[in-house]
Structure 1
Amino acid sequence: MEMMVMESRKRPRTMQEANNSLAELNSPNIGQPIMPLENGFTVPHHSTVSATPVFEHQAAHCNSEPSPIRNKASIDAVATMFPQVLIRAMSRERGFADIELIYLEDQMSAILKIVIAPHNTQSLAHRLFGVNIEIEDSCHYMAVSDVVRVTPTPFLKVQGATESTIIEYLGERIHHAIEKSDLRKQEKENGIKSSCCLSFDIPLSSLDRSYLYVTIDTEQGHSIRADLRLF
């Protein structure tokens, strides 16, 4: 079965190109022991990887000065919305989780940014995208099936999560907000079963926090913001 490879410096110029970069869902491949090989990545065909910071298809539409929104949510509020497995992976301090809501310039979509604690990055990448990742000697090592590749880039981005994965690890509420977004609607119109509405930025240092970005509908974002008390 053919794997999908996204070259490290190649960015989709439009949302349509981002959509087209995803292959249709089939059973994911699980990683094998990790060892360095040649540059680049081979990933499960339902996920894509690039070596670029932040989210490609959203970055061009973000406000240069987004409205100031509190980036801390109480664990009590978070527990009403997210499954425990994700809550445990979040970066937390004094009873608050690092979560931020970013409204895009077109006001049609929003980005939910969830900060993940360093020691939970690898396990969450495997749960969400079916990939095994190691960070060592200033390189990312990724193992999928019997192929392992390595790259020394500052950020590794993995995206392309299945609907069942989103429901299991982000919950029904976030899944509903994703399904209402324009990006997800376009993906479904094109027959794309997995979604780049969920992407994961992984830093080069195993001591640094990673960032989970979730594209959601703006109206749903207002409701989520209120329930998480992000003011």
Structure 2
Amino acid sequence: MNYLSWNYRRLGNRQRVRELSELVRANGPNLVFLMETKKKNSYMEKIRCRLKFDNMFLVPRRNLSGGLALFWMNDLDFHIHTFSPHHIDVVNVFGNVKGSLTCKRKLLAKAESKAIIGQGIGQVKVLREEIDKLMELEECMWNQRAKTNWLRHGDHFHSRATERNKKNFISGLEDEYGTWVEDENIVGELLNGFYSSLFSSS
């Protein structure tokens, strides 16, 4: 996912708006986050239209200071989790990307069938590019979710992994004479002998 974040003071200045438009056009971000916008909702709606974003979420200014704006395209399915005058916390929703991938792959299969007989070759190229972008986005979203889960639950995951390791650890075995053995080398020999006889007999 490509995104742009800027502490954008004096957004009412035409030069600043022009700079923002050029940045968006040059980098093609899926998401733009602006801070210190200091503008009313009606003005920010004009900015959204100028930048050609599909969606917008605003945290209004307080008096003549503050103000946050989040613009994003339809290929990102966002859920606004929490917000305040100082932050906007969003959660990615995977279903939209997965659904789009499924739909595009079906369209690609049909387009490839037509391309065999020389029809719609250009459509195949377009669909493959769109699928590549969606797959990159999906991978980015999975990485983001994994990072978030680790930051939130890292200690829990570590303890669970440690617990599983303890369950899978063999502390000792009983030999053929009924003697309990805990020496690692002897335990290894017992295991090796057991599985060797098991597979040789089968």
What is the TM-score normalised by the length of structure 2? 0.21
What is the TM-score normalised by the length of structure 1? 0.19
Greater relative contact order: 1 or 2 (C-alpha under 8 angstroms, separation 6 or more)?
1
When you count helix as a share of all residues, which structure comes out higher?
A: 2
When you count strand as a share of all residues, which structure comes out higher?
A: 1
Structure number, greater radius of gyration: 2
